[in-house]
Structure 1
Amino acid sequence: MNRIIKLFTATLVCITLSQSVVKASSHREAPLIANDPLADNTDLYAFRSPSDSSKIVLIANYIPFEHPAGGPNWYTFGENIRYEIHIKNQTATTGDDITYRFTFTQVNQDPTTFFNIRLGQQNIKTTYTLERSINNSGVFTTIVSNGIVPPPNIGSRSIENGTVGLGASNYDALMTAAIATATTGEKVFAGPVDDPFFVDLGGAFDVGGFRATGKDGLAKFNCHSLVIEVPISTLQKDGKTTAQASSILDPDFVIGVYASASRPSITTFDSTGGNPVGSGSWVQVSRLGMPLTNEVVIPIGQKDKWNATSPSNDLQFATYFKNPELALYMDDSQFGGAVPGLSSLRIQSNSLGSFDFRNGKPGLYGLKGNPALNGTALSDANFGSILLPDNASPRAVDILPIFYTGVPNLAPYQLATGKPAGSPLSVGKPFINNFLPTLGDLLRLNMAVPVTPRNSPDFSSLGIVKAAVLGLTDARFTASGTALQFIPNMDGFPNGRRLEDDVTTIELQAVSGVALAAIGLWYDDYNTNGNNPVSNQLVNVISFNAGVTANDTTFKTGFPYVQAPWRGFIGANYVGPVNTPLPVNFVDFTANISGDNVVLDWQVTNEVNNNHYDIEQSTGASFSKVGTVNATVGGGIKNYSFTHTTPTKNATNYYRIKQVDNDGKFSYSPIRSVRFDSKTELTVTPNPASSFINISSTQNNINISIFDGNGKKVATKLLTSGNARIDISSLSSGTYIIIAESNGATVASKKIVKQ
């Protein structure tokens, strides 16, 4: 009876609390969710699979700042929480068109020990059930039962030791064993991983104090990840594959994604130490669509409300996107002078001599009702009432659609390539269409856009910003004017979000007006006489980065793509979450075929406290060391080379360089790949040459790049019919390397001499 009375009393208390504490979102960005880390969305990713382009990868991360040595109570997914990934693929319906729901159960296999893992047993062993609802039905069907969640990566005795631990071969083996295939065909993983997000938290939240060399506030922290690889035909509203798409920007292949966590509205605590009991209706306490929305767009007084709100009710928050607070720190008439970390970013105040996009200014509203808007997205017959709502909402024309509707392939939202000078409303080169006008914060992705290979020289963490730069400046794309072409990185943020995408830099560049510039609303110092849009201000914006531009470790080349969690104990050399940047910077890294060998060349700078370089190779699974090169002493740029004499001949060879310091710290280079193909022969004539070279290949559709002696790309050409002529008359005399690539992998290389 006493226990019943206590439970009843606790229930009354919880009912009272639930009336005020039912809201709560991401990397601790909202007040309430900061006290509920198990339900805290940290990040959301959606991208076309780089290893199987017929599928989409959805990744929802939770539980921020997991210290790798966070015992004795290790992090795991929580019970009494619904973790959900929501997909919208139609505008005519209300609610979700597809929902994936994870729920978790925990058990102590050996409650007699204080260890999490001992003698082959796990405590807080976690399993999950995955349910799916489709066609906006609200009916959930179980598609994975008793899914395995790997244990925390505590240390070698806990994981590999066969006497006192689990006796696994390594932690990657546990991750692989935890991969499930749903009854409906999806591949699924749920478990601890390295936190893939990277950002200079200290600088960012000291009122935009970004540093040239930032300190990754998430380095060597873990989180928990839900990863689903889904056939595109499952997510496409009519069940189509990309082979049925009308183009690479087919609007019928656009989806919107957000993730959430919900708890029962009432939690009753047991005074005798039993598990809390959840009851009442489910309440959303966390959600995440576009990254950083609640962190840097929504004001602190609205953050908890934001987390409790469905994206379908987001119109109430639209004002914060029309005049984003961050813009005040990129405006010298406001607070720009007090924030030197953002001094490279300045918003157009007199674009084309007419348009002011600073907060509270008219932007393009002066064109309202002008016949020049007819047929464009800005006409009232289309979306003008949303994009040009009044004369004091300048960013409703760019920031609002990026976050709230996606961007349509409709003038003026096309690259300035092909547009007459000073005519941004004209039709230009298409480069994005992820338009799903549901007026809510969703991560939108056009699934028909091809994949940019991660090992391609064109791959960039700047996503659509880099695609815009290539589409405006690269002869491969500018020569075709307004024709639709696949420009590398069209599959990058904000068209979806890849693990590698530097969303902090991209969003800051966007707030500074880079999207406006891309479509022809150039910065104030645009030279109208010379018609040269590449002004100093544009260069400043494109060159800006947020100080941390890459994750602190690599990503896997195959499912689940996120990297294994950092280990809590690896001996005396362990370096936990710290903010000290690794000293060596990789300037360049190439991998080229030379006969039966692969020659690796790399350049580094800032070589301090460096001991050696391990050369690692993979054919698609794990990497293994194939050689070591000792570091040299001294400053400046250093050049290193290694010849791998035993590459695999019948598969793609992936290479990376592991830089190791004297104190055991290490970092990795980007990944490069080569593929031997006996059918690919490259002929270059004449050699030496003075004015032009003729290139022929036994393989069609390969990309040719020419690099100078410093590793700088000086020319590129696509061989569509196996032959091409390249003008080299403007190149300086010297030795150059020609590299042929197919699907992002080097298939042949030649050395030439320019006389």
Structure 2
Amino acid sequence: MKVQRKTNTTKNNKFKFNILAGSLLAVVSVAALASSHREAPSITTTPKADGTDFYMFRSYETNRSDFITLIANYQPLQDGYGGPNYFSMDPNALYEIHIDNDGDAQEEITFQFNFRNNLKDIALPIGSGSNTPSVSIPLIQAGAVSTLSDPNLNLNETYTMTVVRDGRRNGNRTLAAKTSGGSTTLEKPVDYIGEKTLGNAAAYQSYADAHIHNVTIPGCAAGTNQARVFVGQRQEGFAVNLGTIFDLVNAPASAISNRSSANANAAAVNSIQDKNITSIALEIHKDCLAPSTEKVIGGWTTASLRQVQIGDGVPAQGHQTAEKVGGAWVQVSRLGMPLVNEVVIGLKDKDRFNASKPSGDGQFLTYVSNPTLPQLISMVVPGLQNTAPTNFPRTDLLNVFLAGIQGVNRPANVTLSEMMRLNTTTPPTPIANQNTLGVIGNDNAGYPNGRRPIDDVVDISLVAVMGGLCVANGTTNGLGLNTVPGTSLTSACNPNSVPLGQTSLTLHDAVAQEQVMFLSRFPFLNTPIPGARN
């Protein structure tokens, strides 16, 4: 079932105390302009390893509420017609989802994904006579495709999922296996080449669903060790007016507008809704991820490449890459909360952030305590001149960036670090009742308590970066935002430090996240855009 949310134009400008705490989510998003697409210089040269979005939420699929869904997206801005090789995953890369379940800024569980391209080398007899040669076809399909490992597929992608305990580079690792049959080789659907090859959207979805695998997670207790995994192309789920935003917010004044305006969602275009991405989606029992008394988990994704890559002057036949690789894994992409590297980290440190671990986030503290985006917004957006908050260091942003929100998603014993955090005891909200503003909209199952596809991280982040949290904090430090746990950092986070005042609580980017189509079931992101239609 596909679900499209209606625009809510009746927002209450008075937020309750516990709801306003939710605005803290935007700490790292700081002016959410686009999720993590092509965010650093080096990653633009290796797009197959570029992590774009990370979602982590309790499942709202019927009868699946005890499960956590993790979705890691890679390979941004895919055009459906991008053949003839389309967007296979990199067999020389290592894709990972990391889980910290005790607040120590170290991963306790890592899910590693390795891919393989299997070329059948379908050949056709071309010519006549007894010596007619068989010639390899130039395409990845030789006819219509509709089944798992379809015989018409010339190139079949498979992958393995390895579960690593207590550090991603140690020997405590086991391959996840299919619950039925025990195979550790998992199949990935071919990208949506077009309707002639793969049928209409319903047919492609049925084909893709055949690639949802039931697997057993090693190391989890019986009753919590059954999971589902899917890797494949999906429609881009993030809504943003990408080109306009990065051209110094080159839009009408209404593009950064008051959410109470009835026409707020009509002012800008979602410029990437005709694009696809590749998702690694895992649905796993909450007690498998949080088996102890600590029920707040942290998560982030990475991609790594081998330290040495040498061009092969005479590439081998097949469908592997034309490089020889070796050496240790080198991390080239990292993503937890959305937009951190894209619009928070300075240009000189973007590659460094992509290579970093949460335990080393102290080196980037100044980018959050003294962010540049509010000042840039106040310089270039009509109507927002000289409106950047003045409470330095920005303890309002530092709280959520480093620790999570007290009473919402902060671990009991937290080591300050940046990652997405989810309270696994918060029940999911049915999809029909979800609020795109998440916690700030009185929906505690949404962003920043994890992140669901429908959550409008842009709007919530605009509220936070332009001082909405300090307005909510009041003159009596009602939200406790004047300090940062475990540090001596303090600031006067109150309405007097927010030149924009109450208006900061209703900022809106005019792009309708709630109009994006999603599925109401795993893997939740919508069927991709086909390369061609009948």
TM range (shorter): 0.7 to 0.9
- Match for 1:286: what amino acid? S
- Match for 2:273: what amino acid? A
Structure 1 match to 2:45? 35
Q: How many residues align?
A: 426
Contact 2:110 2:164 in 1 (8 A): yes
Listed as ranges, the matches of 1:607-686 within 5 Å are none
> Cα distance, 1:169 vs. partner?
7.7
Counterparts in 2 of 1:187 and 1:340: CA distance versus 1, 3 Å: same
Counterparts in 2 of 1:169 and 1:550: CA distance versus 1, 3 Å: closer
In 2, Cα distance between the equivalents of 1:234 and 1:53?
14
Structure 2 match to 1:262? 304
Residue of 208, 222, 243 corresponding to 2:276: 222
Structure 1 match to 2:440? 465
Structure 2 match to 1:695? none
> Cα distance, 1:202 vs. partner?
1.9
Counterparts in 2 of 1:156 and 1:340: CA distance versus 1, 3 Å: same
Matched, 1:99 2:110: yes
- Match for 1:406: what amino acid? G
Q: Deviations over 1:119-158 (max 9, x none)?
A: 3422332100001013458311000422111111112221
Contact 1:258 1:287 in 2 (8 A): yes
SS of the residue aligned with 1:121? coil
> Cα distance, 1:28 vs. partner?
0.3
Structure 2 match to 1:387? none
Structure 1 match to 2:375? 328
SS of the residue aligned with 1:122? coil
SS of the residue aligned with 1:223? strand
Contact 1:260 1:284 in 2 (8 A): yes
Counterparts in 2 of 1:74 and 1:84: CA distance versus 1, 3 Å: same
Residue of 143, 161, 167 corresponding to 1:130: 161
Structure 2 match to 1:374? none
Structure 2 match to 1:540? 503
Matched, 1:189 2:230: yes
SS of the residue aligned with 2:513? coil
Contact 2:78 2:277 in 1 (8 A): yes
Contact 1:190 1:224 in 2 (8 A): yes
- Match for 1:501: what amino acid? D
Structure 2 match to 1:454? 431
Residue of 179, 191, 197 corresponding to 1:158: 197
Counterparts in 2 of 1:549 and 1:536: CA distance versus 1, 3 Å: farther
Listed as ranges, the matches of 1:304-315 within 5 Å are 304-315=351-362
Structure 1 match to 2:451? 497
In 2, Cα distance between the equivalents of 1:495 and 1:262?
27
In 1, Cα distance between the equivalents of 2:455 and 2:202?
32
Residue of 131, 141, 144 corresponding to 2:174: 141
Matched, 1:298 2:345: yes
Matched, 1:50 2:50: no
> Cα distance, 1:454 vs. partner?
1.7
TM-score, normalised relative to structure 1: 0.54
Contact 1:209 1:342 in 2 (8 A): no
In 1, Cα distance between the equivalents of 2:167 and 2:232?
28
Q: Deviations over 1:241-273 (max 9, x none)?
A: xxxxxxxxxxx2111100000011011221112
Structure 2 match to 1:115? 139
Counterparts in 2 of 1:338 and 1:196: CA distance versus 1, 3 Å: closer
Structure 2 match to 1:394? 393
In 1, Cα distance between the equivalents of 2:427 and 2:84?
45
- Match for 1:394: what amino acid? P
Q: Deviations over 1:589-630 (max 9, x none)?
A: xxxxxxxxxxxxxxxxxxxxxxxxxxxxxxxxxxxxxxxxxx
SS of the residue aligned with 1:117? coil
Q: Deviations over 1:641-692 (max 9, x none)?
A: xxxxxxxxxxxxxxxxxxxxxxxxxxxxxxxxxxxxxxxxxxxxxxxxxxxx
Matched, 1:170 2:203: yes
Listed as ranges, the matches of 1:195-594 within 5 Å are 195-209=236-250, 211=255, 213-238=267-292, 252-274=294-316, 275-329=322-376, 336-340=378-382, 342=384, 346-347=387-388, 357-358=389-390, 363=391, 393-395=392-394, 397-409=395-407, 433=410, 437-456=414-433, 459-467=434-442, 489-521=443-475, 540-550=503-513, 553-571=516-534
Contact 1:30 1:303 in 2 (8 A): yes
> Cα distance, 1:552 vs. partner?
5.8
Contact 2:387 2:499 in 1 (8 A): no
SS of the residue aligned with 1:262? strand
- Runs of 4+ deviating beyond 6 Å: none
> Cα distance, 1:460 vs. partner?
1.5
In 1, Cα distance between the equivalents of 2:379 and 2:461?
20
Counterparts in 2 of 1:273 and 1:196: CA distance versus 1, 3 Å: same
Contact 2:270 2:512 in 1 (8 A): no
TM-score, normalised relative to structure 2: 0.75
Structure 2: give runs of 5+ residues left out of the alignment.
1-34, 123-135, 144-150, 178-183, 218-225, 256-263, 317-321, 478-494
Q: Deviations over 1:340-376 (max 9, x none)?
A: 1756x945xxxxxxxxx51xxxx3xxxxxxxxxxxxx
> Cα distance, 1:278 vs. partner?
1.6
Contact 1:47 1:57 in 2 (8 A): yes
In 1, Cα distance between the equivalents of 2:112 and 2:499?
49
Counterparts in 2 of 1:130 and 1:490: CA distance versus 1, 3 Å: same
> Cα distance, 1:570 vs. partner?
0.8
> Cα distance, 1:175 vs. partner?
1.3
Counterparts in 2 of 1:179 and 1:436: CA distance versus 1, 3 Å: farther
Contact 1:197 1:551 in 2 (8 A): no
> Cα distance, 1:517 vs. partner?
2.4
